[in-house]
Structure 1
């Protein structure tokens, strides 16, 4: 057992939405004291790093209401109930970009904001891409953009790429290119 474990004494559902649930939890601290924690429960998600045969990264540009601005991101989406992350990655890549991949490799997974949320994103790399027609959800409006590594780095510096999963993807792509050039 962890010396830092916070034992849940009580948990109250505050909000249940389409994507997230918010709980207010009373916890017993390791020193015996008590505290309240606001915890967001999320079903998990996938994100895909699609690299074309011309060594370009496929991004989607979309408006993010929580940020009140448009940003460029790698394709990503929420897991459906009982859906395997690999199946979700294939689905999200096709829906958002129209691309299908002959090779899909799971790279890692990571928690997005462990201070208050349990969202786990599975990160995949997609290669052997074949272009098709995007099929976004009815409430999803995206523009598909292909960028070079230099262009991606510039978008990152200008904060047009401003999310952790896409920044992580660019770093992965950069390291992969450095290794390939040696």
Structure 2
């Protein structure tokens, strides 16, 4: 057994949804005892840090029901089954902002909540944006407003907790650390 590995004894799927699946696993711990683990299975997601020619970051504001408030975030979305993350990133950029690009650079991937979920988010950046004449429509149940902020304005939104999610905070930290804007 690998160091700290928990061996699955039994796994039961308790919910199969549109975005997530939930399962409960019985596991054997490294010390030989057993425990239950409640797991959220997620197909993964992508996010894009879009930078305009005048060095502003494009964000979207949308209502987040679990939080009962709107957040300002970088464009992002769930991966479809077996979808290439780079293709998904372009799709989400187009649907949410009306911009496209042929020049996305991979930044990083990270797990959002590894204590109970397997969601992996892939982040890309571009400063080669092209405004689309006829952008594709987003999801029927998704309502977003596009806004552009300077890096300093985005940092202020973090302080005000208007930007308050991990992927967007990471994007701002990444741009700040590189002195990119």
- Over residues 50-71 of structure 1, what are the superposed CA-to-partner deviations in whole Å (9 max), with x where a residue is unaligned? 0111111100000000000000
- In structure 2, which of residues 160, 170, 173 is the aligned counterpart of residue 171 of structure 1? 173
**Cα offset, 1:164, TM superposition:** 0.3
**Residue pairs, 1:16-55, within 5 angstroms:** 16-55=16-55
**Residue pairs, 1:1-182, within 5 angstroms:** 1-132=1-132, 133=135, 135-177=137-179
**Cα offset, 1:104, TM superposition:** 0.3
- Over residues 110-130 of structure 1, what are the superposed CA-to-partner deviations in whole Å (9 max), with x where a residue is unaligned? 000000000000110022111
Structure 1: segments with no counterpart, 5+ residues: none
- The separation in 2 between residues aligned to 1:74 and 1:91, in whole angstroms, is 14
- Over residues 146-171 of structure 1, what are the superposed CA-to-partner deviations in whole Å (9 max), with x where a residue is unaligned? 00011000000000001000000000
Range with bigger deviation, 112-121 or 169-178: 169-178
Query: Could you state the TM-score of these two structures normalised by the residue count of structure 2?
Result: 0.96
Query: Could you state the TM-score of these two structures normalised by the residue count of structure 1?
Result: 0.95
RMSD: 1.2
Question: What is the DSSP-based 3-state SS (H/G/I as helix, E as strand, rest coil) of the residue aligned with 1:46?
Answer: strand
List, as ranges, runs of 4+ consecutive aligned residues in structure 1 with deviation greater than 2 Å: 132-135
Aligned positions, number: 179
